[in-house]
Amino acid sequence: MEHHTCLIIGSGPAGYTAAVYAARAGLKPVLYTGVLMGGQLTQTTEVENYPGYPNGVQGPAMMQDFYNQALRMGTDIRFGYVTSVDFSQTPHQVIIDETTTITADAVIIATGASAKWLGMESEARLNGYGVSACAVCDGFFYKGMNVALVGGGDTACEEALYLAKLCPKVYMLVRSDKMRASQVMQERVKDDPNIEILWHTETVEILGDNQVTGVRVRNRQSGEENTLAVDGFFVAIGHQPNTAIFEGQITLDEEGYIITKAGSSYTNIAGVFACGDAQDKIYRQAVTAAGSGCMAALDAERWLSHQAYLAKQA
């Protein structure tokens, strides 16, 4: 059984940033990447809204830079997937790949979240080539173009309004005759001249070979199918935090996001910290994830220092 001072679970912007700060603080962190090494950004193309890249950067290349920096600072980066945890004892216990047991004084959770998709072949094939799950991330690339967006919650309304500032036409595809969004968000969407809501509408197929050229939709009442000429297709049906293994171990909200104490990365378990999209359901940006990774490492370092002080006083 291995023991480490600081264990980081996850390898997106939050995890790698936490690793940089923890390593520079002398915590000798061990980081397990998870199955998707580098997180969601490795599945996207050009990133233009992260500071320090004036000409933009490809998502995979950006995460390679994060990896290289964490490695250079002295982080022990390992490919592996956390399959279970036990935070009821100290030091905390984590099982890797169902076989390897690791204990750690401080654990930083940076497991991120995954976008919910429609599950269509054309959606997967054109992901990154006109299909996106983040209007704030990718909307700029469609300035002056027509786009479609599927979803009916508050997030969908927010993304539609964001796109409407850039695009002359935003088709909002809603499966029923009403939205789940709050009334004020619905009114804002309905009042925007650039947004056209198509009720009772479901997506049949996203069209295009190497780039989105349109979307075929079906009216769920009449069965009639139509093709919308669009250059971008945005999926806004929600995100799922990658926190299932922590159920019953730390406090999660009703959607599965880790609850942290206001203004910090502290969870309800001493010595366990959370950062990035696993605990952030509002912003979900690479830069905010990186910032919260910094917070988690600083919180962990200060907590460990306090524990060492208390041990000396005992």
Q: Among all residues, which ones are annotated catalytic?
A: 134, 137-138
Residue 279: exposure state from Cβ atoms within 10 A (0-12, 13-18, ≥19): buried
- CA distances (Å), origin 220, targets 81, 178, 185, 225: 41, 13, 24, 9
Query: Helices (DSSP H) in the chain: which residue ranges?
Result: 13-24, 59-72, 121-125, 135-138, 154-164, 183-191, 286-313
Query: Comparing C-alpha atoms, which of 54, 56, 96, 70 is closest to residue 13?
Result: 70
Secondary structure letter of residue 36 according to DSSP: S
**Residues 6+ away with beta carbon under 8 Å from 195:** 160, 161, 164, 170, 172, 189
Pairing, β 225-228 against β 214-219: antiparallel
Query: Comparing C-alpha atoms, which of 68, 70, 50, 51 is closest to residue 59?
Result: 50
Reduced DSSP (H G I as helix, E B as strand, rest coil) percent helix, strand, coil of the chain, to 5: 30, 30, 40
H or E element at residue 100: strand 100-109
Q: Which amino acid is at 168?
A: P
